[in-house]
Structure 1
């Protein structure tokens, strides 16, 4: 299990909040993240900055990681994905998140 170490994890669990995601942001601080749930894939169309992605299942087990996803891209989630954690570019390596970790959110 891995404590995420993120201070501000916003949950996007309604249609509008999932639709908007990070589109209304110009950046994301290192202690911030967006947890999109449920989610089977994401896009960065219209975003203004690159992000790291962590694909997790219903038990918060990491199924996949994509780092430095630039704007205007699409990423499919690995089979079994229930949610996607969006982090600032480079934050996956700083937090030490790896495949098969089980994340704990405060």
Structure 2
């Protein structure tokens, strides 16, 4: 994508558009102030900007009524990016080692 490959660029824009639509769908059901994008793809510097641009196009140009009705959530890169799964696994391991069950009904 960084090399200017038109096919890759189109795929990237389509991906950002689909994520923007998903965010809008979630936002129409749940009032969110911030959406954090994680996973390995979040390391791509252009991703957050691309999703924000797609969201703006979706709400301001394609659907101005929606754009005037909903407040755009802040779309950011998740803090731990692709490492979040490791923190979850560590948390689970520590709970098991300490014989804790965080899902128990007490």
TM-score (structure 1 length as normaliser): 0.24
Bigger Rg over Cα: 2
The answer to which structure has the higher helix fraction is 2
The answer to which structure has the higher strand fraction is 1
